[in-house]
Structure 1
């Protein structure tokens, strides 16, 4: 009858967030992911991705501007 849906791992969620940041997601991937992904994993992965992006930008600016 009602089969429990399989939850995706945190790394799968992180990969989906990173692909979304770059803007290279297909509609079919988005539809598949929306059914599998855990919202808590998405929030945590999003915060980690933003922190990494900000860290990379700060590092680049500190290397360019003496």
Structure 2
């Protein structure tokens, strides 16, 4: 039982959070991964990864628009 408690409270790194947010943007997340993520991610990391992901998404859109318009 103690090992289950330690696995639930184990926090994951920012890069693991960034990867999970990326796959969430794409829409390719497994239910088991989602359930594991819900208990192991630091909320501040999720917010930071979301902001980084949105920034990258906007930058890619701007580059595509500039290429199409040019």
Describe the SS at the equivalent of 2:56: helix
Question: After the TM superposition, which parts of structure 1 deviate over 2 Å for at least 4 consecutive aligned residues?
Answer: 1-4
* Structure in which a larger fraction of residues adopt helix: 2
**TM-score, length of structure 1 as denominator length:** 0.92
**TM-score, length of structure 2 as denominator length:** 0.87
Please, which of 39, 42, 45 is the counterpart of residue 35 of structure 1? 39
* Number of equivalent positions: 66
- Unpaired stretches in structure 2, ≥5 consecutive residues: none
- Unpaired stretches in structure 1, ≥5 consecutive residues: none
The CA RMSD over aligned residues, in Å, is 1.5
